Amino acid sequence: MIKDNGKFHLIILFALLLGILVDYLFYGKPIGVSFFIFIFIFLIFSLFLVKKFNQKLKKEQILIPILLLLLSSGIFLRSSSFLIFFNSVGSLYLLFLFLGLFSEKQLLDFSFLKYFIFPLSFIGQSFQKAASFLGKFWDLIETKRKLGSPTFQSLIRGIIISLPILVLFVWLLSSADIVFQKYLDSLLKISIDPEIVLRTLIVLVSSYFFIGFFVQISANKKEENLLSENKKFNFLGSIESSVVLGAVGLLFLIFILIQFVYLFGGKEYVWGIEEYITYSEYARKGFLELIAVSIFSLFLIYGIDKFGKRESIFQKRTFKILSSVLVFELFVIMVSASKRLLLYIDGYGFTFSRLLGLIFLLWLFFIFLFFLFKIIYEKKETSFLFSAFWLTILFSIGLNIFNPDAFIAKKNIERYTQGKQLDVWYFYQLSDDAIPEIIKIFEMNNVDDEIKMNIAINLSYRYPQYPYLMEEEEIMPFNKKLEKIKEDREWQSFNLSHNKALIVFIRNYKKIKEYQVKYWEKEEARCKEELKKCEEWCEREFAEKSEKIIRCKKTECSWWGSCEMYKENIQSIQSIQRR
């Protein structure tokens, strides 16, 4: 056992200092000399702990710090984006290699694959070592200070663990819901600065991993070192786990009650911080924050399940009940997030990111179901990961079958026929998967010519590599166009969706061309009207001063020569028709 408890305090101190340094050097700042400074200080701390824990450097480890400093200095000596990225990744790789070799064999014994997976495995081990270390560190404090009964000690520990978790969730929920934020401000009389919460979180998470790094280099095989135990360590007792889950569950319950009153209750107006906001505006806020709450909650329950100590039947049953309640609360929060997104879609239409958000929520719902099944029936962790893996594979395949871009185009056009707005130019961002659905709009009688004209122009920009697509049937028949496309594209680049889109385009080229001509005619008429207004203004402004009128028309009327451009476009399209 470690005789010098001061070594525990040194690891905590150095890790916190480095966490603060990460925030100070990197938060909101472009990378530069700060990276070299950080690497230098990190190495100083690491070498100091190595000496303190009586560790010995291997031969290859002596050279690595020198190479690491040289590589990291290139980040402020060179401005090439490639070199900056290369030096950053290379420096981090050498740093993890240097630290990891304290607990590994000689570098000469590494296999080819181990050179690549070693940094990732080192980070994963550091996460677990840090958890074990913090548990033992707390035990040392309890033994030394004698903080009341064991139950009281566990309660205090649970409250301390809950505080940063609650702060994070309160910040996310208040950012997601303006009414919740109003109640929170009136109750606590404080305003949570999102930047302070984020920077504090950066310091704490960074410090946690630095603890894991330092613990790994501190392992001494010659003595019974508690830091180097490989067995599973459950540092969270049943009381601590219950306090954390109960506190978070209570917070979620308060949030859900507000959701039922306002979001699900359908109030026409919602009282905000300074003024009334409409129900739709209230509902559209906070989708991403609620997604973050769900993801963090999954990791929270997963962590408590993995590191929590449950020995008696009562403790296991308590954990199952609290976890189940929290998961069901998260289901309500996910329903709230989906309703917010659906209301946003109802107002502004589908985009790929909005549709992906709904699909991700559905995937997350099933992940929580599998995890709840694991907890209730006490299944192995590998069983849950196996189910999550195959669920993800099935969702990936289903996404391809579903055809998101075609769905987006179809639904947005349907929204327009119901009297809602249509973002025509967003169609240009969709892939060829959407073309068959987009072109159907030319067959619809309840769609304005303005929309059809904009879509026709949109389509004209999509295939500049195939100028002959708009040729008349008499000049280049349908089959000839397809043969020409095959000649212009290598067979290795064949894509079924692209080919299908071109076929649909060719079959409807006459309608597309018709609305292209209408568009340019409309633009030419608009241009002439604006030009006429400008010229009339010049004549009024400089009456009886012919030279100034001419100068005004040339300088002030920005449409002076541009109207000819529209006429040229019309003539170009019409010339294709006559050929």
Contact (Cβ atoms closer than 8 angstroms) between residue 330 and residue 297: yes
What pLDDT, on the 0 to 100 scale, is given for residue 219?
A: 63
Q: Is the pLDDT of residue 480 over 60?
A: yes
Confidence of residue 391 (pLDDT cuts 50, 70, 90): very high
Q: Is the pLDDT of residue 71 over 80?
A: yes
What pLDDT, on the 0 to 100 scale, is given for residue 19?
A: 93
Residues 338-379: tens digit of each pLDDT:
888 888 888 889 999 889 999 999 999 999 999 999 999 988
pTM of this structure: 0.73
Q: How far apart are the first and last CA of the chain?
A: 93
Contact (Cβ atoms closer than 8 angstroms) between residue 269 and residue 278: yes
- CA–chain centroid gap for 410, Å, is 26
- The better pLDDT of the pair 326, 101 is held by 326
Taking alpha carbons only, the member of 362, 298, 306, 353 closest to residue 335 is 362
Confidence of residue 521 (pLDDT cuts 50, 70, 90): confident
Of the listed ranges 48-57, 170-179, 456-465, 479-488, the least confidently predicted one is 479-488
Residues 125-163: tens digit of each pLDDT:
887 788 778 777 766 665 665 556 677 777 887 888 888
Taking alpha carbons only, the member of 337, 324, 366 closest to residue 173 is 337
DSSP H/E element including 269: strand 269-271
Residues 277-330: tens digit of each pLDDT:
555 555 556 788 888 899 999 999 988 888 788 888 898 899 999 999 999 999
Average pLDDT, the chain: 80
Confidence of residue 264 (pLDDT cuts 50, 70, 90): low
Q: Is the pLDDT of residue 473 over 60?
A: no
Taking alpha carbons only, the member of 375, 294, 319 closest to residue 158 is 319
What pLDDT, on the 0 to 100 scale, is given for residue 272?
A: 46
Residues 171-230: tens digit of each pLDDT:
888 888 777 877 777 776 666 677 887 888 889 889 988 988 888 887 655 443 444 444
C-alpha angle with apex 398: 392 to 403, nearest 5 degrees?
135
